[in-house]
Amino acid sequence: MKKIKCLALGLSVLLTLGIASCGGDNVDPNPKPNPDDNPSEKLEDTLDILGGCEEPYLNAVADAFAKKYSVKVNRIRKSSGEIESQVKNENGNPSADVLFGGTTDPYNALKNEGLLMKYKSANDSLISDPHFKDSNNYWYGIYKGILGFMWNKDKIAELGLTAPSTWDDLLKPEYSKYITWSHPNTAGTAKLVVNTIVQKKAEGKRSSYKNHDGETVECYDDTKAMEYFKALDKNTAKYTKSGSGASKEVGVGTTVIGIGFLHDVIYQIVNKGYKNIGMAAPSDGTSFEVGATAILKGAKHPALAKKFIDFATSAECVELAAKNGSYQFLVVDGAKQPQAAIDAGLNEVKIMDYDFDDAKKNTGHYVEDFTKAVNAQVTA
């Protein structure tokens, strides 16, 4: 575990916040030439974006890019699982040009199936941490979000419960049918939960399996993790399609306890005004998503798609997040971090030593094991 000060999240600071307003444009007036860009390549007049981030952020990015290049930008928002399924079904003849937002697990799955286009962004050097970009330039990170718990304070008090503080707390019998989280077949958020528990419960032991190509692949032994998810299923009231589903329900009281990203909770508190939401990162360590962007192989508007990736990896673009209710930490060097997330203490949580390489290779395997172990359907 990285030794970082544990999170003790109070809401008093958050309740006094207005919508966070981040700094101005940080655009390099003399950008370096992009070796993968053809200066003679004529830009198309339309771009189609398939987005996995929340809709206000997606719309702000699409509108800003449209204005910057005087083009039409179509956009559709779907969950990460839906995006992965759609792109796989389209099989190299995509209806969209680029992906924007959503966790990298689907991006890596699509890369492995040859469905992303390699492109080195003009802003490649602005993403210095190798965890936040694909080593072969198939995708780029734009933000990271902390995984944690949320709860309705009124419901917790009414039921005489204490809020969860560790992953194992979620298995308490008194939480029976009070927990909501997303399903790993439809949401990247839930895939991260599955990977997190697999790694925490595996105790370093390795196993292997044959993938769909008949190759033997090394992975973590997920036996104890699947036992955990069977127990968690007994406490789960419903599985939502989208990873932000629980955060949208906890304030109104249709969910007592939720699992999801804490920046989504901040949005509900700051932007929606729900003063009855509590939240915490697991004190025994948690993980974080990397939200990404990429060009789809077979994109109908490839020249404009490349310009979009350059835009998406700039401070000018990623700082639109906090201005539009998305409070993830930004991974582009020089971008101003969201003050609401800092004030909430999200920069001080205990982060586990997450195995990104294993997640890239084996998420699909673990999700298949989850589906076998837990006979659950998306219900909301």
- pLDDT, tens only, 286-303: 999 999 999 999 999 999
Residue 29 is predicted with a pLDDT of 44
State how beta strands 46-51 and 72-77 pair: parallel
Interatomic CA distance for residues 323 and 63, integer angstroms: 14
pLDDT band at 37 (very low <50, low <70, confident <90, very high): low
pLDDT tens digits along 321-371: 999 999 999 999 999 999 999 999 999 999 999 999 999 899 999 999 999
Residue 23 is predicted with a pLDDT of 37
Please tell me whether residues 267 and 155 are part of one structural domain.
yes
The domain total for the chain is: 2
Among residues of the chain, what percentage have pLDDT more than 90?
80
Interatomic CA distance for residues 267 and 324, integer angstroms: 9
pLDDT band at 379 (very low <50, low <70, confident <90, very high): confident
CATH number at residue 199: 3.40.190.10
Residue 196 in domain: yes
Mean pLDDT for 97-116 is 94
Please tell me whether residues 178 and 282 are part of one structural domain.
yes
In terms of Cβ atoms closer than 10 Å to its own Cβ (0-12, 13-18, 19+), residue 280 is: buried
Among residues of the chain, what percentage have pLDDT more than 70?
89
pLDDT band at 40 (very low <50, low <70, confident <90, very high): low
Residue 205 is predicted with a pLDDT of 73
Asked if pLDDT for residue 274 goes beyond 70, the answer is yes
Asked if pLDDT for residue 10 goes beyond 70, the answer is no
Check: CB of residue 339 under 8 Å from CB of residue 20.
yes
Asked if pLDDT for residue 191 goes beyond 50, the answer is yes
Please tell me whether residues 256 and 177 are part of one structural domain.
yes
Please tell me whether residues 325 and 313 are part of one structural domain.
yes
Please tell me whether residues 151 and 279 are part of one structural domain.
yes
Residue 15 in domain: no
Mean pLDDT for 238-246 is 94
Residue 81 is predicted with a pLDDT of 87
* Region at 345 (left for phi over 0; alpha for psi -120 to 50; beta for the rest): left
Residue 180 in domain: yes
Residue 256 in domain: yes
How much is the pTM?
A: 0.83
Residue 11 in domain: no
Helix (H) or strand (E) holding 217: strand 216-220
Residue 212 is predicted with a pLDDT of 78
Please tell me whether residues 231 and 362 are part of one structural domain.
yes
Residue 39 is predicted with a pLDDT of 56
Please tell me whether residues 225 and 362 are part of one structural domain.
yes
Residue 308 in domain: yes
Residue 364 in domain: yes
pLDDT band at 38 (very low <50, low <70, confident <90, very high): low
Please tell me whether residues 227 and 300 are part of one structural domain.
no
Asked if pLDDT for residue 13 goes beyond 70, the answer is no
Residue 197 in domain: yes
Residue 204 is predicted with a pLDDT of 72
Mean pLDDT for 91-96 is 97
- Domain range for residue 31? 24-144+289-336
Residue 177 is predicted with a pLDDT of 97
In terms of Cβ atoms closer than 10 Å to its own Cβ (0-12, 13-18, 19+), residue 158 is: exposed
- Between 39 and 309, the higher pLDDT residue: 309
Please tell me whether residues 164 and 233 are part of one structural domain.
yes
Residue 26 is predicted with a pLDDT of 44
Please tell me whether residues 258 and 278 are part of one structural domain.
yes
Please tell me whether residues 203 and 132 are part of one structural domain.
no
pLDDT tens digits along 17-36: 333 333 334 444 444 445 45
Check: CB of residue 159 under 8 Å from CB of residue 255.
no
pLDDT tens digits along 115-138: 999 999 999 999 999 999 999 999
Q: Which residue stretches of 160-236 are H helix?
A: 188-201, 223-235
Please tell me whether residues 264 and 327 are part of one structural domain.
no
The two three-digit tokens of residue 360, written as one number: 């890239």
Q: Please state which of the ranges 1-5, 94-98, 101-105, 225-229 shows the lowest mean pLDDT.
A: 1-5
